[in-house]
Amino acid sequence: MRFENLDELFNEDETLGLEQMLREILSPTKGSESYDIEQICAIDESKKYFKEYICLFYKNKSEEEKILALNERIEIDKDATKLLDKLIDASNFNPSENQTYQDNKQKFEEFTPEVIEEQLNIDLSEGKTLETQEHKKYLKYILANAKEAVYIQSPWIRANILEIYQSDIESALKRGVKVQIKYGLKPRNRFDKIGIDKVSKNITTQWSNNYPKLFMFKSDNSYSKILICDREFMIIGSFNWLSFGGESQNGEKPRDETSSINKNKDSIAKEIAKFN
């Protein structure tokens, strides 16, 4: 990815800086709705100042490529769509002469699923065994790449671990992926630890309220630790997905946790049925 400074020359032939280029592209044309561009500035943490949008690009037989900007509620934002459509209008630049465009186009074309898997060092072959530190990487990979649903079963849920995956889970929900979490182990006596702490309960309650059709959460009485992705594969073993991060504590070596990948469709379907 390439970043430009606002005062850096963007079009050397016309000696235009990036900020000047953006102002020219975004300036309202005659006959269009009028609006003022108060300021264009570079910031480090954009989420503090701007909304997050999902951009969809599409085209069909009767229309050229179009763009839609969706807000956090997955609703079309007409104003943002107009601005983004204008900003990326191909008529505003010549792709064949834009080195940044050519570089990114080539990287995108080379970024096949096989390349992505190799770069992330994610092995989804049957018989793969995960060691302790690998579990966190696989959970993040699944939350980022699932297309339909993610199922997580963990006897205990702790806020310090749930918060590690909070943004990943929310990103999955925002793109329409169902996330089902099952937790709980019936205590044998009053000294047994509770299934979920107060902070985690607040976080999951918020997800239930914000994504009632996508996020499902239930308690159970099971010691199973399972992670399932899209009915395609599941990871099952000894790792507590939402209460253990795999890191060492007090300088000691982290405890050994082992899981394996299973791609047997019948076995996966049986485990998914237990979530309902």
Residues 266 and 136 reside in one and the same domain: yes
Residue 273 φ/ψ region, left for φ over 0, alpha for ψ in the -120 to 50 degree band, beta for the rest: alpha
Residues 179 and 86 reside in one and the same domain: no
Residue 99 domain-assigned? Answer: yes
Residues 140 and 14 reside in one and the same domain: no
pLDDT computed for residue 99 by the predictor: 64
- Residue 243 to residue 254: CA distance in whole angstroms: 14
Whether 231 and 156 have beta carbons less than 8 Å apart is answered as no
Residue 116 domain-assigned? Answer: no
Residue 118 domain-assigned? Answer: no
Global pTM exceeds 0.85: no
pLDDT computed for residue 1 by the predictor: 34
Note the pLDDT tens digit of each residue in 230-239.
Answer: 989 999 999 9
Determine the Cα angle at 64 with ends 116 and 77, to 5°.
Answer: 75
CATH number for the domain including 236?
Answer: 3.30.870.10
Residue 4 domain-assigned? Answer: no
Helices (H) and strands (E) in the chain, counts: 9, 11
Ranges in the chain, pLDDT < 70: 1-16, 28-35, 41-50, 59-65, 88-121, 125-126, 190-192, 248-251
Residue 238 domain-assigned? Answer: yes
Residues 159 and 85 reside in one and the same domain: no
193 token code pair: 């630890």
- Residue 209 to residue 30: CA distance in whole angstroms: 44
The helix/strand/coil state of 58 is strand
Residues 101 and 145 reside in one and the same domain: no
Residues 17 and 133 reside in one and the same domain: no
What domain count does the chain have? 2
The helix/strand/coil state of 191 is coil
pLDDT computed for residue 2 by the predictor: 43
Residues 134 and 263 reside in one and the same domain: yes
Q: Given 81, 110, 139, which residue is the final one in a domain?
A: 110
Residue 121 domain-assigned? Answer: no
Residues 164 and 57 reside in one and the same domain: no
pLDDT computed for residue 94 by the predictor: 62
Residue 246 domain-assigned? Answer: yes
Residue 130 domain-assigned? Answer: yes
Note the pLDDT tens digit of each residue in 97-155.
Answer: 666 666 666 666 665 555 555 555 677 766 788 888 889 989 999 999 899 999 999 99
Domain hosting residue 169, numbered range: 126-273
Residues 98 and 160 reside in one and the same domain: no
Q: Given 83, 110, 137, which residue is the final one in a domain?
A: 110
Residues 137 and 31 reside in one and the same domain: no
Residues 104 and 219 reside in one and the same domain: no
Residues 15 and 98 reside in one and the same domain: yes
Q: CA distances (Å), 75 to each of 54, 70, 72, 143, 170, in order? A: 10, 5, 7, 22, 16
Q: Given 41, 75, 110, which residue is the final one in a domain?
A: 110
